[in-house]
Amino acid sequence: MFRRALLLGICLASVAIPVSAGKSDGTLDIFWSDSVGGGSTLIVTPAGESVLIDTGNPGGRDSGRILDVLTNVAGLKRLDHMVITHMHIDHFGGAAEVAAAVPVGNLWDNGLPDTDPDGNRNSTWPLTSKPYRSMSLGTRNRVDPGTSVPLASGTLPLSLRCVITRQTPAAPAAGLRTATAGDSEPVMKAPDNSDNANSSAWILSFGDFQFFDGGDLTWNTEAKLVWPKVLVPEVDLYQVTHHGFDVSNHPRLIQALNPRVAVMNNGPTKGTSGEVLANLRALPNLEALFQVHRNTRPDGSTNNTVESHIANFTPSGGRIIRCSVAADTKSYTVSIPATGFSRTFRTKP
């Protein structure tokens, strides 16, 4: 009954977007559904495989928006891979609802703890985590540093690899830049004892194109990716970590990633820190910053990107941001389908 009701709600709420994804045109597509400051990033490969990184909050709104993109925009009937970066409700809360509506092949997470992952003694964790613990899907997989989600490559290589999880970086790959003797140790902030610090971070590579998604990885753990060795490549597209909070987005990391485009999955009053925006704007090669929501706090006059790069202007929201990487991977287009905005960028050589 829940599955039928949820699918009916998706059909009624869906907005027609006359563009197909992935398998029909050879593109790689990335969608940011509006989970109002939660995490929900859907990847559809040229072969039509689907990967959902984080699932937003419970309650039907976020899962319905994710499923709308998966089924109505991408035209798919199943989710091949579900990746949960860490065990906070705005990242895993919609998982059971997605799994109730469509078949899910593989789950990738850090393992489900028996007690509250932030150590809260009076938490409702057993009740909160029960739907996730009991949801029906194919195979549950534990993510380790260096784990790769198996994806079918065509004429161009395609990979999704974990570069850090549970505060442990993956072994350095050949050809990585190393810190020189003149480099100073990165600035640190107060220790973060929440599960945010344990987030898994991922590099998606498709030919020349590269994308970074760090979940809610926090400042001191991010520093491990750039000291004493730089363990990340330069990327084309950066998903602004942790919704744009300044307890994340270490400037040394975003400088090492050196993106051309950044997308922030923030909420109307969540994220968009002034410190983070200043550090992004200082990047020499950043050409565009996109936000899922306009920041409506009093600091919104300065802590927002340009209006044409914002998908949602009201709290109810629902509009997506989409990135389509050309089949030859030489360019990628970021668009807001509901407004008709579209801009194409050249992939880094």
pLDDT: which is higher, 174 or 233: 233
62 neighbors 38 (Cβ within 8 angstroms):
yes
Whole-number Å distance between alpha carbons of 307 and 291: 9
267: pLDDT strictly greater than 50 = yes
pLDDT score at 24: 58
> Is the link from the previous residue into 315 a cis peptide, with omega within 30 of 0?
no
17: pLDDT strictly greater than 50 = no
240: pLDDT strictly greater than 90 = yes
pLDDT score at 122: 83
Question: Measured at the alpha carbon of residue 184, what is the angle toward residues 183 and 190, in degrees to the nearest 5?
Answer: 145
* Of 139, 132, 133, the residue nearest 98 (C-alpha): 132
Q: What is the mean pLDDT of residues 87-101?
A: 98
pLDDT score at 180: 79
Chain segment 105-145, per-residue pLDDT in tens: 999 999 999 999 999 988 999 999 999 999 999 999 999 99
29: pLDDT strictly greater than 50 = yes
Kindly give the residue spans of alpha helices, DSSP state H, lying in the chain. Answer: 2-13, 61-68, 89-92, 95-101, 125-134, 219-222, 251-257, 274-281
- Give the β-pairing of 331-336 and 79-83: unpaired
Residue 175 pLDDT class (50, 70, 90 cuts):
confident
- Contacting residues for 42 by C-beta, under 8 A, at least 6 apart: 30, 31, 33, 50, 51, 52, 53, 66, 69, 70, 74
Percent of the chain with pLDDT over 90: 87
Chain segment 309-323, per-residue pLDDT in tens: 999 999 999 999 999
pLDDT score at 4: 37
Chain segment 269-308, per-residue pLDDT in tens: 999 999 999 999 999 999 999 999 999 999 999 999 999 9
- Please, what is the angle between helix 2-13 and helix 61-68, to 10°? 70
Q: What pTM was estimated for this model as a whole? A: 0.93
Average pLDDT, the chain: 93
14: pLDDT strictly greater than 60 = no
77: pLDDT strictly greater than 60 = yes
176: pLDDT strictly greater than 60 = yes
* Residue-range domains of the chain with CATH: 2-13+21-115+124-174+187-343 (3.60.15.10)
Torsion angle, alpha carbons of 37, 43, 44, 45, to 10: 170
Percent of the chain with pLDDT over 70: 93
31 neighbors 325 (Cβ within 8 angstroms):
no
